[in-house]
Amino acid sequence: MLAPPCNQTSDNSFILLGIPGLDWVHPWLAAPLSFMYAVALVGNTLILTVIWRDSTLHEPMYYFLCVLAAVDIIMATSVTPKMLSIFWSGDGGITFSACFAQMYVVHAATAAETGLLLAMAFDRYVAICKPLHYQTILTPKMMLGIGMAIMMRAILFMTPLSWMVIQLPFCDSHLVPHSYCEHMAVAKLACADYMPSSLYSLIGSSIIVGSDVSFIATSYSLILQAVFRLSSRNARLKALSTCGSHVGVMVLYYLPGMISHYVEWFGQDVVPLHTQVLLADFYLVIPPTLNPIIYGLRTKEIMARVLGVLGTGGALFQGSKCRNHV
């Protein structure tokens, strides 16, 4: 399914250019990108491990956080290793099949992530605004339905888009002016009309992100109203700090992605190409790095379990050293 028609070209690979016009910056970006990828892998893996092992964390909020951690690992891993290959060694070669597979995974993961952020905002709304009905609203059946709806929406959105791009003939330039196989960057290389897939992407992503952001904004506005009614000043400050950090992560996720998406349509002559690519890279790399810190490690229950896991590992290590000295 992912292989393009064999008679369209004799060359079955693309060349990813990284950040066009900023080739000299590639080595400088590789080190922080490697660090962020390591933080994303370690942080999200810790959250998955802690929630999986501790039955007291088997609650709706932590289930959603667990799925978000898994999606973050998939999203970061689908693009970062290839980015590092480009930035470190200049190796941007990628086969058609690998490129279309990366495109599908990246865009499906972003669609799933925005759905999960909405689900977590809804969970916080119920927990803060309707605490007495929390268990009756977020039942296991309800959670399963929400999770299935999020994943099915991502799959149903991406499958037609991928099919439309795969059918395009690529018979001219195979140089992709991007760090990964972003849909528009690849579709524009086709020697045929790519507008149907571009319109589908624009309309579909606008509907998904627009509806999710609207519901998230509504949830947090209701949460803030409930927070300001609290009598305890410390409780208000704590809730505001938590909500503020959540909103900050969402802004870093939605804003660069939507700006880069709409600039491709309406502002190509205004915003330099390297800025568009950097924005698209940021919204795939920064959220998987920050999500485990903001949503996970800043949560008291998870932080205590993570420290317990690390402490147990340290105690085992010290015990092993003591036994070795006996």
pTM for the whole structure: 0.83
Which strands make up the sheet holding 93-95, listed edge to edge?
93-95, 13-16, 175-176
The pLDDT of residue 268 is: 63
What is the reported pLDDT for 37? 94
Domain regions of the chain by residue span: 13-305
Inter-residue contact 29 to 190 (CB < 8 Å): no
Which residues of the chain fall below pLDDT 50?
1-10, 313-326
pLDDT of amino acid 311: 66
Beta strand pairing call for 13-16 and 175-176 = parallel
The answer regarding whether domain 13-305 maps to CATH 2.20.25.160 reads no
CA 282 to chain centre: 10
Could you tell me how far CA 79 lies from the centroid of its own chain? 11
CA 81-87-89 angle, to 5 degrees, is: 95
* Res 120: pLDDT: 87
Residue keyed to tokens 């599908």: 104
- What are the residues whose beta carbons fall under 8 Å from the beta carbon of 2, sequence distance 6 or more? 96, 97, 100, 101, 104, 166
The CA distances from residue 166 to 95, 162, 196, 222, 264, in Å, are 13, 6, 13, 44, 20
The Cα diameter of the chain in Å comes to 75
CA distances from 232 to 131, 222, 229 (A): 17, 18, 9
Q: What is the pLDDT of residue 267?
A: 60
Query: Position 267: which residue type?
Result: G
- Residue 60 parent element (H or E): helix 60-89
